[in-house]
Structure 1
């Protein structure tokens, strides 16, 4: 049940991140959920490194959204301009 909840919250976080970051991201439902989950993990690791979270403590909802936005921005920059056009 924990994994189902994590996937649902990850999907919502991914949707919010895609809505906040401008541009057209061609991600499906599964990749949107993966984006949210990965954003949560990234925010948790960065928060622990900066001393914001205890060891083993997960990131909050806002931290997860910020982590997903950063990951979406990085992926967009790695793809380069116009990478999704024409395919």
Structure 2
């Protein structure tokens, strides 16, 4: 059950990050990948900054922040 919840949070976080960064999503699979990688990146960044998030909303915020950072880094690399 936790794995399914992790995928749902990843998909929603990827979709939100797509809306924030480009104004659209990347399809279900693309949103999941961006959200899941973003969740790991967000957890890492929150740990470095000494921030903590709890519960479903906290996980969603962490994953979304990480996904936005990931999309930003990808856009910077693509421009060069």
Which interval holds the TM-score relative to the shorter structure?
0.7 to 0.9
Question: For residues 48 and 69 of structure 1, what CA distance do their matches in structure 2 show?
Answer: 17
Structure with the higher helix share, 1 or 2:
2
Alignment of 1:1-87 (within 5 A): 1-22=1-22, 27-53=26-52, 60=58, 61-80=60-79
Q: Return structure 1 stretches of 4+ with deviation > 4 angstroms.
A: none
What is the TM-score of this pair, normalised by structure 2?
Answer: 0.76
The number of residues matched between the two structures is 78
TM-superposed deviation, 1:62 = 1.9
Q: Which blocks of at least 5 consecutive residues in structure 2 are unaligned?
A: none
- Cα root mean square deviation, aligned: 2.7
Which is higher, the Rg of structure 1 or of structure 2? 1
Q: Which blocks of at least 5 consecutive residues in structure 1 are unaligned?
A: 82-87
